[in-house]
Structure 1
């Protein structure tokens, strides 16, 4: 009865279009009525305790850092550098878009923030250069999903907190999968642009102009070095790195680039607060949800059911991937990780999958969820950035989803792609 109330209630509330965080909380309240030893006050208590965690502090700080970087001119300078070096290649602007998203991913940690920041700059230029709208918007939506794979990554922080897995190791594990997906998208863009006849930038930049572009963007380019270098050198924790990123973005935008005045600053901080508030509600309600799962031993039941169905590692991982892909179509990354990681991690570890490797599998699956209809949030952000109907974005997204799925299979079944760097630094 508890399991039926928990999952059945969640499904009903989601169908009724109740916001995800509220739906999780209501499903938890419904299930408590069938649970002995728990009162209705358990959910509001979990709203507080679920957010009362030092690692969780990284989430609002990385959200704020991403907003400040977009508004303070950091993204624009990164784009200029990438255009100078890659713009003349066939499909140059498309390749530049992917490279900028990879770079922005190394400082923001958020997929939608990456789409909004990069898309607002590249979409008008790509359309002006003759790229089709459906390709342009789909590319921005897909490349933006790298924002949660290349560290720092907000979903990795959530997974680490939910499963007591090292966040630093998760960040290390995210590098090679992120670069794999980035380079796969670059190759796809090159061959697709060549087929469509989309040429690169005709302007030839001199060595002096290239150096000037790099010098102008020097503060933006050293940002990920400071953040990630500080984490792995042991100077600060991932949570403290988020604070450093926010302060650094503020200093760059207000005092160095001088593109962030106090009027824009309040708007930027307001946007970050709005996103953070939504995320915190989801985290709190998902904490109650996962604790009820644990009390009722539902993760153990599901683990035993899957293992009894098949002991084939290949098939179990395939079933997990299919489940995560389906969930990603309908649920945001944060609640999906909070709800599913305690259920699926025991299954993965029972067949010998390392928790860090499984964390990357989860994050990549749910990153694909950013670009799968009907609720792929990157699709909505790209649609808004391009001032186009959602249908325009979804028409162009299918080839990109196929590229992402191919990368997902490699990441799932070739564990060194994820585990090489964590194992290397562990020695």
Structure 2
């Protein structure tokens, strides 16, 4: 009967249902056909979201929205412009650098593309950058944030596996920085070849004042990481600290927040958080059905029956996750596939922390993979240009991302060194 579940789910995706609704409808169809009491739906959905660490997700989403509306994001962009603006193609470098500093607090790569793209794409077009390049840089830069801590996808991975959130945050730091630097190099090379504009070099005084203006925005990430790694507060408590901090800075330091835009922040955060929690609930029900039908065990046996070589297994998993990430949002794909594939990885002695970083990196790269990478759609809609043009312009950035993925896969120390240094 598992074919009913898969068929209805795929049909829902083809009809462009929201993924949560496609999952829910697929699960409902399966339960009805199998004659299973429908009371199992709310029970399994509630058990999926009744996890303490998941309370941090709404907090980080709201903190990101407060950063956007409270002027913290603008300060980060301005500081990056002081540091990088004088280099050829400086605004493209600012785009990537700001995403690295923003660090994905807004939630996901898609929301990063939307929030940063609404600011950076029009600014780059105005200064003479090609529209396709502007959109491609924005989509590519959005893949950095969810790797560099704090990261909502890492929190989801920790929830699904019981791994330490702090360790996963640290594990993503070096791969995220490596990806960011690689994208910076690619943007610079392209900008130099196309002779994109550069600004006048900022004075040391301007850089210093830019840093002072940005200090409060940058301090937020430090407080979150130090608090979690140092055992001062849990990830859930850290998200509340982030909200309180962003609120205070936005109200009293940058003075960009007011009653009206706080209402907008609350509404946007509630809508995003609710959609994610519904998705988590349906995904837990979906996972329960898969386990009942012994699908994880079947997939594991098929892969391990084909090969037990660790690197071949990781290659197969990489190909699968990039393909899935092309069609599906990161968190949805993690919820469905991560528990299944983690068992396969553990069977060939892959460290679970290392595998979590590989999985998140794969799925995020998939969001910028043609022909239907979701971040490409978001960027192209902001830039009002075809997704084909954005895909073509984004190929060098995709190539860089794949090189970083290969390095992270082959060298576990890139993921495991920092957790081992600070938390073992």
TM-score range, shorter chain: over 0.9
2:31 alignment partner in structure 1: 32
CA distance in 2, matches of 1:195, 1:263: 45
Equivalent residue runs for 1:86-235 within 5 Å: 86-105=84-103, 107-201=105-199, 203-235=200-232
1:420 alignment partner in structure 2: 417
Which moves more between the two structures, 167-176 or 24-33? 24-33
Spell out, residue by residue over 1:268-325, the C-alpha distance to the aligned partner (whole angstroms, 9 max, x if none). 2212222112111111100101122223322111111110111222221111111111
2:54 to 50, 53, 56: 56
CA distance in 1, matches of 2:343, 2:201: 55
Which moves more between the two structures, 42-51 or 224-233? 42-51
Mapped contact 1:331–1:375 kept (Cα < 8 A): no
Mapped contact 1:105–1:114 kept (Cα < 8 A): no
Q: Provide TM-score, normalisation by structure 2.
A: 0.95
CA distance in 2, matches of 1:426, 1:49: 29
Aligned-pair CA distance for 1:375: 4.6
Matched, 1:378 2:375: yes
Mapped contact 1:107–1:223 kept (Cα < 8 A): no
Unmatched 5+ stretches in structure 2: none
CA distance in 1, matches of 2:254, 2:388: 37
CA distance in 2, matches of 1:425, 1:396: 40
CA distance in 2, matches of 1:269, 1:384: 25
Equivalent residue runs for 1:353-392 within 5 Å: 353-373=350-370, 375-392=372-389
1:14 alignment partner in structure 2: 13
Mapped contact 1:109–1:151 kept (Cα < 8 A): no
Structure 2 CA distance for partners of 1:384 and 1:12, relative to 1, 3 Å: closer
Spell out, residue by residue over 1:103-161, the C-alpha distance to the aligned partner (whole angstroms, 9 max, x if none). 00164443223223322332222222221110011101110121211111111111111
Name the SS of the counterpart of 2:49 in structure 1: coil
Total equivalences in the alignment:
424
1:78 alignment partner in structure 2: 76
Aligned-pair CA distance for 1:394: 2.9
CA distance in 2, matches of 1:315, 1:95: 35
2:326 to 329, 332, 357: 329
Mapped contact 1:108–1:153 kept (Cα < 8 A): no
Matched, 1:243 2:232: no
Unmatched 5+ stretches in structure 1: none
Which moves more between the two structures, 248-257 or 74-83? 248-257
CA distance in 2, matches of 1:25, 1:396: 37
Q: Provide TM-score, normalisation by structure 1.
A: 0.94
2:275 alignment partner in structure 1: 278
